Amino acid sequence: MMLLVVRQESRAADTSSNTITDKSDTIKASEILKKADEFRSPWPNFIMIAHLSFEKLNEEKQEVFRVFTRDYFKSLVSYIDPAKERGNILLMVDDNLWYYVNKTQYPIRITPIQKLSGGASYGDVTRLSWSRDYNANMVGEQTVTVKEQSYETWLLKLLARSNSATYHAIDLYIEKGTGYPRKAELYLQSGKKMKTLYFTAYQTMAGRMMNTKIEFIDHLSSDNVTTLTFSKVQVKKSPDRFFLKSNLPSLNSEVVY
């Protein structure tokens, strides 16, 4: 199992409560979060390949999806590989997420936190921005070390405010200067830590810098590691019909290729 060593040096902005609560810092936190979103979803409309790798029963598994994003907050994810799941589709519109199994009649309603594969949830692929789904508060400044590289970061506490939010709460570490997300700790409503995410690669795609690799540590499954990578970006607006639940049974030839 791959190990990622993280060292933290806390310099809380408010030593009495460990949280900044005045209005100016709330505004600052939301601005930092919006900047971070630009590297996760750089365009309102685009298409890309998502590649998921994880270990199951001591065997390396690979899954491939094509992701269609529309107006930032609509997404359709088509299953490409493995062959037995090819043609299945995920559709996220506003707070609604459906899963359609190829050659069936009706999609079923699911929740973003349900497991997709490995340590990834459905929402990790269908929802690539935080600003709409979470309220952000500034906690302070911390140094984190990921893959032997240290980063000075802002630490934000995100709390879910919409039904489409994948996780109840997130401790998000955003690098100063660049605005790159570097680490996220994900929590259940009970307060239990569910996963830790490391944003480990950034590349220029279609002229913009984009986060292209995320490594998940699943604390509810023996700290197993799952890797999600994004590639083959096309900046393109997908048709309205792709994002209608009633059309899912007829989209196979257009979204699975």
Q: According to the model, what pLDDT value does residue 22 have?
A: 52
Q: According to the model, what pLDDT value does residue 237 have?
A: 98
Nearest to 118 by CA among 190, 65, 41: 65
Helices (H), the chain: 23-40, 123-126, 252-255
Question: CA–CA separation, 103 vs 112, rounded Å?
Answer: 23
Superfamily of domain 9-44+111-237: Lipoprotein localisation LolA/LolB/LppX (2.50.20.10)
pTM beyond 0.85: the answer is: yes
Domain boundaries, the chain: 9-44+111-237
**H helices then E strands: how many in the chain?**
3, 16
**159: three-class secondary structure by DSSP:** strand
Q: According to the model, what pLDDT value does residue 47 have?
A: 98
Q: According to the model, what pLDDT value does residue 7 have?
A: 42
| Residues in the chain where the model's pLDDT stays below 50 | 1-21
Q: According to the model, what pLDDT value does residue 23 have?
A: 64
Q: According to the model, what pLDDT value does residue 5 have?
A: 42
Q: According to the model, what pLDDT value does residue 142 have?
A: 97
